[in-house]
Amino acid sequence: MNKATITIAVFIVVIIGGLLIWRSSGLEVFNVSTEAGQETVAESTESVPNTIVSMISEETLAAHNTGSDCWVSYAGSVYDITDWVGKHPGGEDALIRVCGESTAFEEAINGQHGPSRAERLPEVGTFMGTLGIIEGAQS
C-alpha cells in the first residue's frame, strides 16, 4: 500500500465515521423532541374541550335562531354570537334575521360587508363546532 492509498483509506474512514456519529446524534435529538411532543399531547388531552370538535347538524343550528340564542354558520364553522348580537355596529336586527342560518348568514354578511368581515367571527363569537350531517344520528 502506498502513501496515497493510505491517505484515501483514512479519509474514507473519517467521512463514514463522521456520518455515523452525526446520524446517531441526529436520532437522539429526534427522540428527545418526540418525547417532548408526547408530553405536549399528554398535557393537551387533559383539557379535552380544546381537542374535540363537535359536529353540529342543520337542525341544531336552526334551533338557535333568536337574538337571545344566536348561532350562525360560515364556511362550515358554527359560532355562538349571542353576546355580540346587541353590539353589532349595524344594529341587532340585521343579525337576528340570520340567526340559526348557514347559507342565509353567508349571503347576508358577504353582501353587506364582503367575505373578509367573516374573519372576525372567532373574535365576536364562540366557535361551537363544524356544520355537518351526522349519519344515523337520532334527533
User: Which positions touch ligand HEM (CB under 6 A)?
Assistant: 88-90, 94-95, 98, 105, 108-109, 112-113, 117-118, 120-121, 124
Pick 56 or 109: Cβ nearer ligand HEM: 109
The residue whose grid cell reads 474512514 is 13
In the complex, least distance from residue 49 CB atom to ligand HEM, rounded to whole angstroms = 23
In the complex, least distance from residue 71 CB atom to ligand HEM, rounded to whole angstroms = 12
Pick 28 or 123: Cβ nearer ligand HEM: 123
In the complex, least distance from residue 104 CB atom to ligand HEM, rounded to whole angstroms = 9
What gap in Å lies between CA 55 and CA 60, rounded to an integer? Answer: 10
Q: Which residue in the shown chain puts its C-beta closest to ligand HEM?
A: 90
